[in-house]
């Protein structure tokens, strides 16, 4: 007997379900699904501007985060490994945006530190 493949095309449906049933699902299940999908894309949003000079705008990083997440979700849909979930696209894209903001923060701190160093010499 084959397993029925499940997918979600309704935005925020699974996020709402995880929040609504957080008590019965448990903290770890909710955290791993919601925060995990964000956290996994933070490095992508941080390193993309470092690796590709033309990707140093918020728009480019968010668009490429969405594109990469869509690729992952489509592979899951075609291979029927995991499940296609539009909410994962949303969370992964948010993760890319958070990563970009972390890049900006680190870049600002780095510039401030090295400006002081060069002004002192």
Q: What is the DSSP string of 63-115?
A: HHHHHHHHHHHHHHHHHTSS--BHHHHHHHHHHHHHHHHHHHHHHHHHHHHHH
In angstroms, the Cα distances linking 49 to 2, 44, 96, 112 are 43, 9, 11, 19
Tens-digit pLDDT profile for residues 3-23: 688 899 999 999 999 999 999
For position 82, what pLDDT does the model report? 87
**pLDDT at 2 exceeding the cut of 90:** no
Instruction: Report the C-alpha gap between 106 and 96 in whole angstroms.
Output: 15
Tens-digit pLDDT profile for residues 22-44: 999 999 999 999 999 999 999 99
Tens-digit pLDDT profile for residues 73-111: 999 999 999 899 999 999 999 999 999 999 999 999 999
Indicate the DSSP class of residue 24.
Answer: H
Closest C-alpha among 49, 47, 46 to residue 102: 46
Arithmetic mean of pLDDT, 56-67: 97
Instruction: Report the C-alpha gap between 121 and 112 in whole angstroms.
Output: 15
For position 70, what pLDDT does the model report? 98
**pLDDT at 56 exceeding the cut of 60:** yes
């Amino acid at each position: 007997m084959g397993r029925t493949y499940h997918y979600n095309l309704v935005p925020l449906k699974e996020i709402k379900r995880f929040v609504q049933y957080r008590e019965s699902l448990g903290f770890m299940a909710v955290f791993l699904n919601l925060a995990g999908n964000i956290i996994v894309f933070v490095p992508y949003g941080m390193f993309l501007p470092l690796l590709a000079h033309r990707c140093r705008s918020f728009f480019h990083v968010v668009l490429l985060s969405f594109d990469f997440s869509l690729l992952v979700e489509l592979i899951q849909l075609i291979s029927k490994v995991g499940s296609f979930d539009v909410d994962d696209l949303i969370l992964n894209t948010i993760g890319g945006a958070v990563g970009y903001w972390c890049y900006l923060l680190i870049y600002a701190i780095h510039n401030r530190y090295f400006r002081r160093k060069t002004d002192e010499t």
